[in-house]
Structure 1
Amino acid sequence: MPGVSSRGRGRRTINEINMVPFIDVMLVLLIIFMVTAPLITPGVINIPSAGKSSKAPDKLINVMIDAEGQLTLDGEVKLGKTNEKEALAAIKQALEANPEMPVMLSADSDLRYQQVISMMKQLRAAGVDRVGLAVK
């Protein structure tokens, strides 16, 4: 019997596992994957696009952030280049007359994403209910 070994005092089972067949199978699978991996073409990734509304709002405030982090207000409130405090004060003043007015935030593509999120948080803290991101 192959599973039995005699070592002097009778029959005893061998408690060892033969690893050679396992290693052979793993090497064959490794070779198969190495040969087939360059032949597989990567799939196409469908990136979702931003939806378009049927009608743009009549009055809105555009907050544009350039690559240096300077703010420009346009739309209902026109300030030109300004800092965050002045921009938030002007937006609050415009929202007193119309609290449902949307604020569109657009940023330069070279700007860090954290700065855009920070501006969105400040707009929310200022009481803006409708904040949107402008995409191109």
Structure 2
Amino acid sequence: MKGGMMQTVRRKPMAEINVVPYIDVMLVLLVIFMVTAPMLTQGVKVELPETTSDPIQAEKDTESVVVSVDANGAYYLQVGDEGSDPMPLGQVQEMVGKIMAERTNREVLVRGDDNVQYGKVVRLMSVLQQAGATNVGLITEAEDLDDAGG
């Protein structure tokens, strides 16, 4: 007779973690970060002052190192009166590193073409800093007041 007695079914303890709540939390965080990330990368409009400045007088006993970037993004190194052929950014870092190792107080100047991408100049300045250049300057040309419209 089966009707009067019920068999007791023993369940094994479950050794798995329920990850569904964690997935829900991660999806909510993902949505929050996706919404807020574009807000963090927007630029701020800054109006810089327009002025003319006097040129900086270079010290006579030190030759300055000039690294140029042309419109095509090619890098050139000039130490004193000696110029170079186009070279990759890694080679510029190596050469400037050697120059700065022998004399750390040399001026390092960057001359960038008006049409070069901003990122190329920023990468160059970062590489120069890694090579040991503590003070990096930018070379500009004086503004022609007749063409400026002012």
TM-score, scaled to structure 1: 0.60
Q: Which runs of 4+ in 1 moved over 2 A?
A: 75-80
Q: Corresponding residue for 1:125? A: 130
Aligned residues with identical type, % of pairs:
19
Q: Corresponding residue for 1:86? A: 91
- Higher strand share goes to which structure? 1
Q: Corresponding residue for 1:48? A: 51
Q: CA RMSD in A?
A: 1.9
Q: Corresponding residue for 1:69? A: 73
Rg bigger for which structure? 1
Distance 1:117 1:80 in 2: 21
Match of 2:115 among 90, 110, 113: 110
Which residues of structure 2 form unaligned runs of 5+?
A: 1-47, 142-150
TM-score, scaled to structure 2: 0.55
Distance 2:100 2:68 in 1: 18
Instruction: Report if aligned partners of 1:50, 1:135 keep a CA contact under 8 Å in 2.
Output: no
- Aligned with 1:74: secondary structure? strand
Aligned pairs, number: 91
Which residues of structure 1 form unaligned runs of 5+?
A: 1-44
What code does the residue aligned with 1:96 have? A
Distance 2:123 2:59 in 1: 24
